């Protein structure tokens, strides 16, 4: 199935989960897709069954945690999970003891972390491509 | 077990609300706290700057009358309180049993995460022939507990959190918080700092409006216009990079003014870059205005009655002919600038979208005017945070009116309550969706400018 994986690396469908947060990471990603000419075949999908990659932005609270796990389970293998921004990577300023907020890696097996508030557009695109390459090589 | 309030107590409370309503008072926000087995609710009402409050103490696990029957704009605030405190609000309207009605209608669930939803919300619809007959929205996916986290924090730490509350209105929330802190501590901000704050605030409005427009283009499927709007956002980022490393302009505000001075030359460069947007924005606006497919499609969606628009804020109200000028509420020097608030005759998706263009052009004009008359001098007059007090501030934000209640005790936040424009407008979403085609729903939601991250905090 190597040939199929090669094609899938060149055409990546991303499911964006905008969990609780300021939504700038998700906006940066939309902007990267719209403006960046080197977007490398990345598209956004609204159906997890069509997705290759799950992009998690923002802090995950108790309520969104269940839904995110549900979405992750629906994405077919091989799949990559990318945590975008300080909120998804570590909870940023909002995460305290007993605040019931989770970093993405506490909820899902994260393949790649893009730190920063707010991360750059090129970094997000690059991380998606690399994570997919990595996932499909190990598959 | 839930205990109901007595009939007499309920009638007395509703009577008080009606009394204020008949005098044209508006519900500003509902504050809640829980102490010694009692939930304390404070209904803050406002009329022409005068503030009144109706206080209620109810035992935990009680039911009290819903404020929605008198002040429909309070629905979302009430829902938030019911989710947080052991109290239930009872209204005359019966809740829809979605499971029961499935036999007559098609049950559709949408969300909470979808590319056409800017922020997570969960919708349940009962539809017939793809037209929505009943709708129910569920929020809470954005909740981070920012208000609770701010309590007990020092002012700069709380400010850091508030600026990150929302990418589109974070600057306005941070600014309103600082204005409240400065009011309590009697800090007089220098003229130049006030003008700089005004310019930065208008820049944040411009950014928010451009993001709203980009979302509308996405919902309409106009990919080339979407790309054009994103190019304008790139232009904005270029201008913002001359002022700060961050395009959301975080970290510039400090108590007493702004963190650093911005040279007049830099401001002129920023203005020159921003004014390049005028031509593109005008041409897209004119093109949409003269394209029948867009005008006809959008004019039939999301019509808001004038009587409802009166209690809404922002473009939803202004597009219905209500000339609400939120900038007048501000303590920033808007009064020295010349501007006219854009309004329309009928509130629908199309007029609201056109106002997005007009508001962006207005922000560009205000930025230019403010830079032209930028005074010289200091940009910070911080004199310590020694006082104690609580105040309510009403300020403009990109999508309407922002109200914030701040309590400070010697530089520590003791109380904070934020009510943004979406807290008012979101209350009407369930009813607005009725009669809408399912495929037009993303457009309707996009045109209402909902900023859920600042609403749910």
Can you give the pLDDT at residue B98? 61
In chain B, which residues have pLDDT < 50? none
Domain ranges across chain B: 3-90, 149-456
HEC-encoded secondary structure of B319-352? CCCCCCCHHHHCCCCHHHCCCCCCCCCCECHHHH
Can you give the pLDDT at residue A39? 61
Environment class of residue B229 by beta-carbon count within 10 Å: exposed (0-12), middle (13-18) or buried (19+)? Answer: buried
Question: What's the CA gap between A136 and A77, in Å, rounded?
Answer: 9
Pick the residue from chain A with its C-alpha nearest to B150. A94
- Are A67 and B113 inside 8 Å of each other by CB? yes
Q: CB–CB of B415/B158 below 8 Å?
A: no
CA angle B331, B47, B49 (to 5 degrees): 20
Can you give the pLDDT at residue B198? 92
Within chain A, what is the greatest distance between any pair of CA atoms? 47
Can you give the pLDDT at residue B285? 92
Can you give the pLDDT at residue B97? 62
Can you give the pLDDT at residue B128? 85
Can you give the pLDDT at residue B197? 92
Q: What are phi and psi of B415, to 5 degrees?
A: -160, 140
Environment class of residue B439 by beta-carbon count within 10 Å: exposed (0-12), middle (13-18) or buried (19+)? Answer: exposed
Can you give the pLDDT at residue A1? 54
Question: What's the CA gap between B194 and B173, in Å, rounded?
Answer: 16
Could you tell me how many residues make up chain A? Answer: 139
Within chain B, what is the greatest distance between any pair of CA atoms? 71
Q: How far is B231 from chain A (nearest CA, A)?
A: 7
DSSP B188: -
The H-assigned helical ranges of A1-139 are 2-10, 24-35, 62-74, 85-90, 104-107, 121-138
Chain A residues closer than 8 Å to B120 by CB: 18-20, 64, 67
Can you give the pLDDT at residue B179? 92
- Are A118 and B167 inside 8 Å of each other by CB? yes
What is the CATH topology of the domain spanning A11-138? Answer: Rossmann fold (3.40.50)
Chain A residues closer than 8 Å to B231 by CB: 35
The H-assigned helical ranges of B23-95 are 75-84
Question: Which 61-90 residues of chain A touch chain B by CB within 8 A?
Answer: 61, 63-64, 67-68, 71
Can you give the pLDDT at residue B173? 92
Angstrom CA distances, B397 to B7, B19, B170, B451, stand at 40, 30, 9, 11
Can you give the pLDDT at residue B247? 82
Question: What's the CA gap between A14 and A30, in Å, rounded?
Answer: 11
Question: What's the CA gap between A76 and A99, in Å, rounded?
Answer: 32
| Distance linking the first and last C-alpha atoms of chain A | 10
Can you give the pLDDT at residue B251? 85
ipTM of the complex: 0.85
Pick the residue from chain B with its C-alpha nearest to A92. B161
Domain ranges across chain A: 11-138
Q: How far is B23 from chain A (nearest CA, A)?
A: 38
Q: How far is B432 from chain A (nearest CA, A)?
A: 24
- Are A64 and B233 inside 8 Å of each other by CB? no
CA angle A65, A69, A72 (to 5 degrees): 140
Condensed to tens digits (0 to 9), the pLDDT of residues A38-81 reads: 566 888 888 889 888 999 998 888 888 889 999 999 988 888 89
Q: Provide the CATH number for the domain formed by B149-456 in this structure.
A: 1.10.645.10
Question: What's the CA gap between B445 and B114, in Å, rounded?
Answer: 13
Question: Which 257-296 residues of chain B touch chain A by CB within 8 A?
Answer: none
Can you give the pLDDT at residue A18? 86
Chain B residues closer than 8 Å to A34 by CB: 214, 226-227, 230
Tokens coding B226: 């979407």
Q: How far is A111 from chain B (nearest CA, A)?
A: 21
- Note the pTM of the prediction, 2 decimals: 0.90
Q: What are phi and psi of A60, to 5 degrees?
A: -100, 120
């Amino acid at each position: 199935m190597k040939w199929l994986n090669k094609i899938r690396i060149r055409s990546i469908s991303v499911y964006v989960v905008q969990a609780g947060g300021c939504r700038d990471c998700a906006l940066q990603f939309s902007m990267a897709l719209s403006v960046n000419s080197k977007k490398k075949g990345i598209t956004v999908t609204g159906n997890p069954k069509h997705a290759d990659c799950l992009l998690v932005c923002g802090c995950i609270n108790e309520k969104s945690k269940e839904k995110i796990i549900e979405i992750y389970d629906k994405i077919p293998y091989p799949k990559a999970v990318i945590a975008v921004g300080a909120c998804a990577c570590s909870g940023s300023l909002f995460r305290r003891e007993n605040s019931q907020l989770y970093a993405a890696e506490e909820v899902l097996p994260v393949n790649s972390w893009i730190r920063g508030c707010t991360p750059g557009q090129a970094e997000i695109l690059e991380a998606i491509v690399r994570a997919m390459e990595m996932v499909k090589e190990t598959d | 077990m839930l205990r109901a309030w007595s009939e007499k107590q309920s009638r007395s409370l509703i009577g008080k609300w009606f009394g204020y309503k008949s005098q044209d008072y508006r519900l500003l926000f509902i504050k809640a706290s829980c102490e010694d087995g009692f939930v304390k609710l404070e209904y803050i009402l406002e009329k022409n700057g005068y503030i009144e409050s109706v206080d209620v103490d109810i035992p935990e696990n009680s039911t009290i009358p819903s404020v929605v029957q008198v002040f429909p704009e309070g629905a979302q605030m009430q829902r938030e309180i019911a989710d947080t405190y052991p109290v239930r609000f009872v209204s005359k309207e019966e809740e829809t049993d979605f499971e029961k009605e499935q036999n007559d209608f098609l049950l559709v669930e949408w969300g909470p995460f979808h590319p056409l939803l800017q922020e997570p919300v969960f919708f349940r619809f009962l539809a017939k022939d793809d037209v929505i007959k009943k709708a129910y929205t569920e929020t809470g996916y954005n909740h981070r507990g920012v208000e609770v986290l701010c309590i007990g924090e020092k002012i700069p730490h709380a400010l850091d959190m508030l600026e990150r509350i929302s990418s589109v209105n974070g600057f306005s929330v941070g600014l309103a918080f600082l204005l409240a802190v400065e009011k309590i501590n009697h800090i007089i901000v220098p003229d130049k700092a006030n003008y700089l704050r005004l310019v930065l605030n208008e820049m944040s409005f411009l950014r928010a409006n451009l993001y709203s427009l980009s979302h509308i283009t996405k919902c309409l499927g106009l990919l080339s216009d979407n790309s054009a709007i994103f190019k304008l956002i790139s232009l904005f980022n270029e201008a913002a990079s001359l002022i700060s490393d961050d395009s959301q302009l975080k970290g510039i505000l400090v108590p007493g003014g702004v963190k650093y001075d911005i040279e007049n030359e830099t401001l002129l460069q920023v203005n020159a870059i921003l004014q390049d947007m005028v031509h593109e924005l005008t041409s897209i606006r004119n093109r949409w205005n003269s394209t029948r497919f867009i005008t006809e499609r959008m004019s039939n969606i999301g019509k808001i009655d004038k009587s409802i628009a009166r209690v809404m804020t922002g473009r939803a109200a202004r597009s219905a002919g209500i000339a609400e000028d939120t900038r007048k509420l501000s303590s920033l020097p808007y009064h020295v600038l010349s501007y006219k608030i854009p309004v329309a005759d009928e509130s629908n998706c199309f007029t609201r979208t056109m106002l997005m263009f007009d508001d962006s052009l207005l922000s560009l004009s205000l930025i230019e005017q403010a830079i032209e008359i930028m005074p010289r001098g200091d940009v910070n007059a911080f004199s310590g945070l020694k006082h104690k007090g609580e105040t309510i501030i009403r300020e403009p934000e990109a999508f309407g009116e922002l109200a914030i209640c701040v309590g400070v005790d010697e530089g520590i936040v003791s109380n904070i309550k934020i009510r943004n424009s979406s807290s008012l407008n979101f209350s009407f979403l369930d009813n607005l969706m009725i009669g809408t085609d399912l495929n037009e729903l993303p457009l309707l939601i996009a045109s209402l400018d909902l900023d859920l991250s600042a609403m749910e905090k």
